[in-house]
């Protein structure tokens, strides 16, 4: 799915990227959408965030991963290996959220923040490991790519660790009990029962 407003966004962003890429936009997007992404459809939507220049994606709808128009602009105008690896890592990240998040129905607490952060970091590792076999250095560069184009202040929130922190985790650790304990310490979670349940929920991931 490739709307006229997404095409207009790409044309607007072409002036910023100063690219010489003249391949027809729809050809590149169609090529991407023809690939197999574990049975999920890829949709590029301007309505996702009304033409934001920040890279965004989500997987809330069944069978679909939605990327904003800015992702379409990057894939069409830059069309290089680093951009494609960042895109692949993002698909893997979103698929991980669909398949294996730890579900915890409590809000506004350090326990919930801990679970949110672990789910995000696990999705980063899974996005590299299981979906597209990105090496650790390739996933590090993919996260650096998204940090570079974030477009606003990078900071920790209750739902996500900052991109800088996510880079630290994927650079220094494997996804295992040690990393989960580090995340618990970073957010101030002291609920040992919850920490143990989270450890038992996820499999170990070691990137190469």
Please write the tens of the pLDDT for every residue from 49-92.
999 999 999 988 888 999 999 999 999 998 788 898 899 889 98
- Residues with Cβ within 8 Å of residue 178, at least 6 apart in sequence: none
Helix (H) or strand (E) holding 164: helix 163-172
Q: Tokens at residue 48, please? A: 């996702």
Domains of the chain: which residue ranges?
A: 4-79, 99-201
If 0-12 CB within 10 Å is exposed, 13-18 middle and 19+ buried, where does residue 157 land?
Answer: exposed
CB atoms within 10 A of CB 200: 9
pLDDT in tens, the chain (208 residues): 568 898 889 888 888 887 655 567 778 888 888 877 778 888 999 998 999 999 999 988 888 999 999 999 999 998 788 898 899 889 989 989 988 899 999 999 999 999 999 999 999 998 876 656 788 998 899 899 989 887 668 899 999 999 999 999 999 999 999 999 999 999 999 999 999 999 999 999 998 8
What is the residue whose two structure tokens read 């590149």?
Answer: 28
Give me the residue label for tokens 């304990």.
Answer: 181
């Amino acid at each position: 799915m490739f709307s006229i407003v997404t095409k207009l966004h790409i044309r607007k962003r072409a002036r910023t990227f100063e690219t010489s890429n003249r391949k027809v936009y729809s050809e590149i997007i169609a090529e991407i959408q023809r690939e197999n992404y574990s049975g999920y459809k890829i949709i590029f939507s301007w309505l996702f965030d009304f033409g934001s220049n920040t890279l965004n994606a989500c997987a809330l709808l069944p069978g679909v991963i939605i990327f904003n128009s800015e992702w379409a602009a990057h894939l069409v105008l830059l069309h290089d290996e680093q951009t494609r690896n960042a895109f692949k890592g993002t698909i893997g990240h979103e698929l991980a959220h669909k398949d294996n998040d730890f579900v915890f129905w409590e809000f506004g607490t350090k326990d919930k923040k801990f679970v949110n952060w672990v789910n995000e970091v696990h999705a980063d590792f899974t996005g590299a490991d299981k979906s597209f076999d990105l090496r650790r250095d390739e996933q590090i560069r993919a996260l650096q790519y998204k940090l570079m184009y974030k477009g606003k202040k990078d900071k920790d929130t209750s739902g996500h660790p900052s991109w800088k922190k996510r880079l630290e985790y994927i650079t220094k650790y494997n996804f295992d009990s040690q990393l989960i304990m580090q995340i618990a310490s970073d957010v101030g979670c002291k609920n040992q029962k919850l920490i143990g349940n989270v450890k038992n929920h996820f499999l170990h991931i070691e990137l190469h």
